[in-house]
Amino acid sequence: MKQGNSQKQGTSAQPLAGLKSWQAAAVCTLLTAVFFRDILFRNAFFWEDFIYQYYAFRNFAAVSLAHGSLPLWNPFTYNGMPFQADIQTALFYIPNLLLTLAAGSGKLYFLWVEILIIAHFVLAGWAMYLFVRDLGLEKGYALFSGVAYMLSGFMIMQLIHETFVTQIAWTPLVLFALRRSILRRSFFWMIAAGLLLGHSILAGSPQFTVYVLLLLLGFFLFELWPVIRARQYGAAAGMSALAAGAIVLALGLTALQLLPTAELAGLSQRAEISFAKSSEGSLRFQQLITLIAPKYFGASGAQGSDFWLQGSYWEYWETCIYAGLAPLTLAAAALLLLKRNRTVLFFALVLLFGLLYAFGDNFFLHSFFFSTVPGFDKFRVPGRMSFYVAFAVAVLSGFGLKQLFDLRRQSPRTLRNIAAGTAAAGVLVYLCAAGGVFQPSPGARNFEQIHAVTVHAAGIAALLSCVLSGLLFLTWKEILTPVRLLLALIAFHLTDMMVFGYDQNNGETNPDAYYQRTAELVNFLKDDGSKELFRVNSRVGGAMILDRNQGMVDRIFLCEGYTPLALQRNYPPGLPCYDLLNAKYRTDVDNQKQTAGLRTSTTYLPRAFLADQDTVIRDETAERSFMEGPAFRYRNQIVLEENPPVRPVHDDSAPPGTAAITAYDLNRIDLRVAAARTSFLVLSEIWYPGWKAVVDGHEQPVLRADWCLRAIPLTPGDHTVVVSFEPESFHRGIILSAVTLLISLAGLGVGYRKEKPAARVVP
């Protein structure tokens, strides 16, 4: 009997010891397919920002590239703005580039974008498996960590923000490569870490780039500290050089994106945000209860919203800290190792930091970073720092699972107490809900509805807690073998997350149908657009004739759009705004009938015209005031902010000449101009650094006119004008990125040959 027990205990340390890396990936794929089966079988569709923003980005990029045009500029949104420079477009992220292959018909089918997002859940799980294996845990425990990460509340809630999910899916793999680099003193892994980090940055979320870099810094210092304590300063210097090398390579690789983005950011509406704005989406202290009952305060998703906590409906998913009951319980068990395991201590601190930062203006940490650490003052929604919570809980859950079996052998009473505590926690939350804790007073008008929502959520949490407690009791009684417990916990976690968020992103709106609902109007505008260039004012207040980013989908010039990096100057001030913007069609709203429709303007200016009067006003306030006043004769007068190289010759008796656009592409406009006298060619196109003009083969300056438009000085006569977008930031960046990539690929080959054969094996 003792021998049998000993045998059982001996195998308990390594469930699924024969698991191969590809098999771990297969498990992650299977679980992901089960979770997203309605999407994959076309019974549901991703919703919200996926439709409004990210699908439009992917479609525009893929279709443009498929037709041989690199979309540096997007003329269809906000009267025109940089496309590639907006990092969220993730133009050079390799999986996005592959979408080009599916866009040959002139349209990118949205299912390909959904599959791409779903594939990153698999990547997240497999990458976490590799990382936790490298931390020293056995394969079965590492597999659970991978499952816990890819099916965490954070990943599920943020799915509609494609760039978030695609970027953080790579984070465990970046840490894996960085750790191997600094611990093995490996040049090969340094380059691998740099390439992985750089590629993940290209996925397109500057906010999570900052968060990931901070995590990498913390992890590097964690690994460096024992070396410094041992006074091995030479080794510490080598580790520092390798870590710095990885960061430098990542920045060099992404220069083609970061340099244009930095230029755009300084001119965008996000150049500066207030602390109050940055604190939107802060976690509240009472939301700690959602660690156990995630829908205690209601929910908000594709099926509707009953989220009753004061704030916007979107705060539900932006402040989600739910990681799953099983990972949370196992992470708590791992805390018993705090004094004996440095890795557990580090990730416990990561978890704590992420939680405290997520409190935003409810705790001092966000304020400190906002005011002192570069980069943190550019982003809102501190609740997104719960990414650290999801990441740390996933890692700790692997250590906690191993600890369970150690406790069964070494301290059965502790394991029994964990099992009992798990059930007690769920029951306590249910009692809190039944007692109205954190809810409005019973006399409140909507108390009954809120109370019902909360009690239902707490009841589910209590039931799941008791089931999980039962599994732990069976482990304590040695009824469940390690393999069976591991499989049971994976099945439990999948069930838990399906109850929590299976239909969170399962919308009923087919993106094809969504954009086809205005097909008749779109066809009319495109047919009219084949005769002349014009813009459409498609939105007034909350009334939208066309969707905010539909211009990118249907190639219609819209005055409106939707992206956080919209330019500060994209609308001229004053009543002539839409005339100057070449808006032929404008939205009218009938407030009494609650209807909206398009009307045709008779006063709009053409996309290109000549003006022979100028006024120079260098002060922005004075410029705005002048353009809003009656003295501004916008049809033949322009307002400049600097002295032009030539002055126009005004003559009221005759027009200054004619201008005609002969060819129009994303990054280039060709014109034929007949100027009767010295004047300015005015383009109803948004001014931005990088636009260059060549007149009869000679470069001319492109001046900012009328607040945000372009003007080119011309002498009398007939001219051929070519205006092209050639941003220096992009050209410098692409050279730097190309050089970095070539050096990295050469270095990988050299480094790989120097790697010891045993060190080449991936767990």
Q: What is the mean pLDDT of residues 197-215?
A: 97
Residue carrying structure tokens 């207040």: 541
Based on the fold, state whether residues 537 and 560 are members of the same structural domain: yes
| Residues 666 and 548 reside in one and the same domain | no
Residues 588 and 651 in one domain: no
CA 579 → CA 294, 375, 584, 585, distances in Å?
51, 38, 8, 10
> Would you say residue 320 has pLDDT above 90?
yes
Whether residue 749 is contained in a domain is answered as no
pLDDT, residue 757, reads 61
- Residues 79 and 607: their CA atoms lie apart, in Å, by 11
Query: Mean per-residue pLDDT for 720-739?
Result: 98
Is 546 strand, coil or helix? coil
Examine the fold and report which residue of 578, 600, 622 is the final residue of a domain before the chain moves on. 600
252-271 pLDDT tens trace: 999 999 999 999 999 998 88
Are both 531 and 662 inside the same structural domain?
no
- With beta carbons less than 8 A apart as the criterion, state whether 192 and 154 touch: no
From its phi and psi, is residue 88 left (phi > 0), alpha (psi between -120 and 50) or beta? alpha
Q: Across the chain, what does the average pLDDT equal?
A: 94
Cβ–Cβ under 8 Å, residues 415 and 408? yes
pLDDT attached to residue 759: 54
577, part of any domain: yes
Residue 539 placed within a domain? yes
SS3 of residue 443 by DSSP: coil
Q: Which of 248, 413, 394 is nearest to 331 (CA)?
A: 394
User: In the predicted model, what is the mean pLDDT of residues 138-144?
Assistant: 96
Distance CA 567, CA 571 (A): 9
Is 58 inside any structural domain? no
pLDDT given for residue 271 in this prediction? 80
Cβ contact 525:573 at 8 Å = no
Query: Is the domain of 344 the same as that of 450?
Result: yes
Distance CA 345, CA 221 (A): 13
Residue 22 lies in a domain: yes
This prediction has a pTM of 0.94
Provide the domain limits for residue 417: 2-45+136-154+280-501
Mean pLDDT of 89-110: 94
pLDDT band at 12 (very low <50, low <70, confident <90, very high): very low
* DSSP notation for 740-755: HHHHHHHHHHHHHHHS
The predicted-structure confidence for 400-449, as pLDDT tens digits, reads as follows 999 998 998 899 999 999 999 999 999 999 999 999 999 999 988 899 99
* C-alpha count within 13 angstroms, C-beta hemisphere, residue 96: 29
Cα 349 to Cα 341: distance, rounded to the nearest angstrom: 13
Domain count across the chain: 3
Residues 443 and 574 in one domain: no
Among 112-121, 173-182, 302-311, 322-331, the range scoring the smallest mean pLDDT is 302-311
Q: Is residue 255 part of a domain?
A: no
What is the rounded CA–CA span in Å between residue 615 and residue 367? 44
Query: Are residues 360 and 482 both part of a single domain?
Result: yes
In a domain, 719, yes or no: yes
Gap between the Cα atoms of 258 and 250, Å rounded: 11
Which of residues 600, 623, 654 is at a domain's end? 600
Neighbours of 25 (CB within 10 A): 18
At 431, the amino acid letter reads L
Identify the residue with better confidence: 293 or 104.
Answer: 293
Residue 585 and residue 663 in one domain: no
pLDDT for the residue 6: 35
| Residue 363 DSSP one-character state | S
Q: What is the pLDDT, as a whole number, of residue 3?
A: 37
Give a yes or no: residue 461 inside a domain.
Answer: yes
- What is the residue whose two structure tokens read 């679980």? 31
Q: What is the pLDDT of residue 7?
A: 36
Same domain, 632 and 594: no
